[in-house]
Structure 1
Amino acid sequence: MRSLASLTSLLAIATAGPIGLPSVAAADTFRFTAIPDEDESRLVERFSKVADYLSDTLEVDVEYVPVKSYGAAVTAFRNDQVQLAWFGGLSGVQARRLVPGSQALAQGVEDAAFETYFLAHASTGLEPADTLPDSIEGKTFTFGAKTSTSGRLMPEHYLRERFDAAPEELFTRVGFSGDHSRTIALVEAGTYDIGAVNFKVWDAALANGDVDTDKVDVIWSTPSYPDYQWTLRGDADETFGAGFTDRVRQALLSMDDPELLESFPRSGFIPADNDMYAPIESVAENLGLLR
């Protein structure tokens, strides 16, 4: 029983509402999404294989539904257009606030101690250091997506902590690239002097030979914080049957195929719960990013 990004699904997405999703959830189809932190075409290819795995393991039809933005992922979850989502720390907090009873089920092994890398273009003369240097002031800077935990929330938190100033006061120009791959490309091209990027995306790009380290490299790494997680709607058992939440949790924790794990990329999954993300919620409230 498999339902990937088939022609039928793609047509439904193309003709749906403003975020490009089915208008209602079908009880016989379990849908999930993922925040678009990398190129969309790559995510569709990768997560369609995850849909296969979940369909076989859960013995229900499973469909991966791509979205255009972090906000669209949260909206789809709120509206029950998807029942499961691979969220970042902040988007997960936002979603669980909007859908009471929803649970963080699993996080990547690496997500318990996630990091953001600060990248700099070679022309800045900035070198790797244990702290962010005063000389970053007056340069240009790009975050990732506006509600990205690793691409905006935590790097802004640490910038404010270090300099006691808002990014707009530190830099001559502040941008939002939209995703981590784009951040790397913009700093490598010299469009921005400095950027904040998810360390896993950087490491993967480096391993794939997609980065010219003569042009861009890491100058600082943040302290660790909790980040990505799988979050399931609180009404999943009511919709799909008693015990469904536990079955989904076990399916995620049992995912061990290296090809599937590369979709994230993670080395495996470990249990998670909502309380683990209290530090993210606190920082987001302090920065005014939660309603």
Structure 2
Amino acid sequence: MKLLRTLLAALAAPALAVTLSACGGDADATNSEGLPEKLTVGVIPNVAPDTQNAKYEPLRAYLAGQLDTEVELFVATDYAGVVAALAAGKVDVAYVGGLTYAQARAQTEVEPLVTEVDKETGTKEYLSGVVVRADSGFETLAEVVRAGGSFAFGDVSSTSGSLYPRLMLNAAGAECSPGAMESCPPLSGVSFTGGHDATAQAVLNGSADAGGLEVRILHRLERDGVVPEGELKVIQTENVMGYPWIMRSALGEKAAEAVTEAFLEMDDPELLDLMQTTGYQRVGAEEYEPLVRHAEDLGLLSAG
């Protein structure tokens, strides 16, 4: 009987090893920094997705070298897609707007790591703005509201293209209420363009009287000749805490520190110029609390 038990135990051992390996394979497949063998990095499509993917290729290569792991880029078709991918564990690290971070943390455990130093403000904050055509005659957002003009937002989950423009509109006398995303009386119409570049074009071609977008993206479009310089006028701005790079908390503190250090140590002038920054600084969840409260008040914590 003792011999039989020994033989059965010997036969069972390989099967048990296979079962444990199948259950814990992801946890074991990490490098010395605690990172998975393939790190999936997601970015929000604040411009056209195909343009965004090509843009971030140098960053992908940099992170792969710094972190000693394979890095794959993931560009969703919209902001909600990044949140869904994070919640499903298909994306490990993501570059998102503050509102997208707030939406993601409502669905899964994520933590902000760093944000860029904005070239235009010299701080961790950047500017959300409202633009009109320079020849429109509008000088203030309150004038647009009183005239019952039309307004273009970017993606519904955009921080500087949706959340902060709504705050500015409400302060100017509009009624952009939770649960009525496509109505901000007395505005005559509201549209969602999907991106900052599309919002600029909508105002430029007269599809909307005014639009909300990220001011530094407007300036980039002007430098690239996509928007003729001087054709659009910024009539109001609000400071916004910078886009955070966030990570799924499940990867652990060691991995979080490794990714954080990779950004803090970035010093290649060409790469920094590509990322539109002079460097990165650490950020914590507490710095986004005011934004989270605004999102709650406006009913914007649900992505998609």
Identity score, percent = 28
Give the aligned partner of residue 230 of structure 1: 245
Map Cα deviations across residues 94-138 of structure 1 (whole Å, 9 max, x no partner).
1122222x21000111272221121112452123x5xx3334431
TM-score, structure 1 as length reference: 0.83
1:262: how far off?
3.8
Aligned match for 2:157, one of 138, 143, 147: 147
2:208 aligned with 1:192, yes or no?
yes
Give the aligned partner of residue 105 of structure 1: 113
Q: Distance in 2 between matches of 1:143 and 1:124?
A: 18
Distance 1:136 1:214, change over 3 A: farther
1:162: how far off?
2.6
Give the aligned partner of residue 7 of structure 1: none
Distance 1:58 1:194, change over 3 A: same
Q: Distance in 1 between matches of 2:108 and 2:268?
A: 31
2:225 aligned with 1:209, yes or no?
yes
The residue identity in structure 2 corresponding to 1:148 is S
Aligned match for 1:44, one of 50, 53, 63: 53
Distance 1:161 1:32, change over 3 A: same
Q: Distance in 1 between matches of 2:133 and 2:298?
A: 28
Q: Distance in 2 between matches of 1:135 and 1:185?
A: 18
1:214: how far off?
4.9
Q: Decide whether the 8 Å contact of 2:79 with 2:157 is kept in 1.
A: yes
Aligned match for 1:56, one of 56, 65, 76: 65
Give the aligned partner of residue 19 of structure 2: none
1:217: how far off?
2.1
2:274 aligned with 1:258, yes or no?
no
Give the aligned partner of residue 168 of structure 2: 158
Distance 1:272 1:116, change over 3 A: same
Q: Decide whether the 8 Å contact of 2:174 with 2:185 is kept in 1.
A: no
1:164: how far off?
5.3
Q: Secondary structure at the match of 1:260?
A: helix
Query: How many residues are paired up?
Result: 259
1:231: how far off?
0.3
1:165: how far off?
2.1
Q: Decide whether the 8 Å contact of 1:48 with 1:63 is kept in 2.
A: no
- Normalized per residue, the structure richer in strand is 2
2:259 aligned with 1:244, yes or no?
no
2:138 aligned with 1:126, yes or no?
yes
Where does 1:280-291 land on structure 2 (aligned, <5 Å)?
280-291=291-302
Give the aligned partner of residue 13 of structure 2: none
Q: Secondary structure at the match of 1:225?
A: strand
1:218: how far off?
1.6
1:288: how far off?
1.1
Where does 1:17-96 land on structure 2 (aligned, <5 Å)?
27-96=36-105
Which consecutive residues of structure 2, in runs of 5 or more, have no partner in the other structure? 1-25, 30-35, 177-182
Give the aligned partner of residue 15 of structure 1: none
Distance 1:252 1:278, change over 3 A: same
Q: Decide whether the 8 Å contact of 1:150 with 1:227 is kept in 2.
A: no
1:216: how far off?
2.2
Q: Distance in 2 between matches of 1:117 and 1:269?
A: 23
Q: Distance in 2 between matches of 1:257 and 1:170?
A: 49
Q: Distance in 1 between matches of 2:284 and 2:42?
A: 19
Larger radius of gyration: 2
TM-score, structure 2 as length reference: 0.80
